[in-house]
Amino acid sequence: METHLSASALFSGLTPKELAVVEQAGRRQHVDTGSFIFMEGDPADRFLLVLSGKVKILKTALDGKEQILLLAGPGESFGEAALFTGRQFPASAQAVADSTVMSFPRESFLGLVRQHPVLALNMIAGLSMRLHHLTHLVQQLSLEDITTRLAGYLLDQLSSSSHPSEPVVHLSEKKMTLASILGTIPETLSRAFARLTRLGIIAVDGEAIIIRDRQKLADLASGKKL
């Protein structure tokens, strides 16, 4: 377990002894695919860390349409912001794969923060990055069309891959999940993929997206009209 905690940016800087204390304050929880960890409006009485699997943080509209705000994988945390307000979770958390999370009760974790100030600094850094991500998401949803958002997503995936020089993006998310990330529905997302294919920018081979023209993809992602 200590290995899982030390791999998280939140707990970087803690000694093995301190990590053992953190571990004792948490509780492991297995979550099946599709199960909710908490719902929007539930009391924000805990903070969570993903040990394995993947969890999506989402908002759901009255018509059932969902917008994914965050996908959290191993070593990533969620629920931090609500933790300090002591109010309600502003969004829901649902496992998109069989997952194991560690749950820290609010008061127990706040006690750890008081004992280990480095946790507060790490959390501030993490929340700042999260704010940057959400600001960018708002910009995309309000100012960009779906083809531009898809181009930006593919470009980001290409740049963050372990082999960025290879012109292939392997989609790890199902179409419905990817559509929710990009703020659309699967049918509209399919049309965006088709348009990029017609423009000769990509070729689709199952879950592999072959980038045929990276410069045009970058131009489209930046808002240029093709």
Q: Which residues contact 150 (CB under 8 A, 6 or more apart)?
A: 182, 189, 192, 193, 196
Contact 134, 92 (CB under 8 A): no
**pLDDT tens track for 60-90:** 888 888 899 989 999 898 988 777 777 889 9
Averaged pLDDT of the chain: 87
On whether the pTM is more than 0.85, the answer is no
The pLDDT of residue 162 is 64
Helices (H) and strands (E) in the chain, counts: 9, 11
| Nearest of 133, 107, 123, 128 to residue 13 by alpha carbon | 123
Where are any strands of DSSP class E within the chain? Answer: 27-31, 36-38, 46-52, 55-60, 66-72, 77-78, 92-95, 99-105, 168-170, 202-205, 208-211
CATH topology of domain 144-221: Arc Repressor Mutant, subunit A (1.10.10)
Which CATH number applies to 2-137: 2.60.120.10, 3.40.50.620, 3.40.50.300, 3.40.1230.10?
Answer: 2.60.120.10
> Which pair of structure tokens corresponds to residue 24?
């004792």
Stated length of the chain: 226
Domain boundaries, the chain: 2-137, 144-221
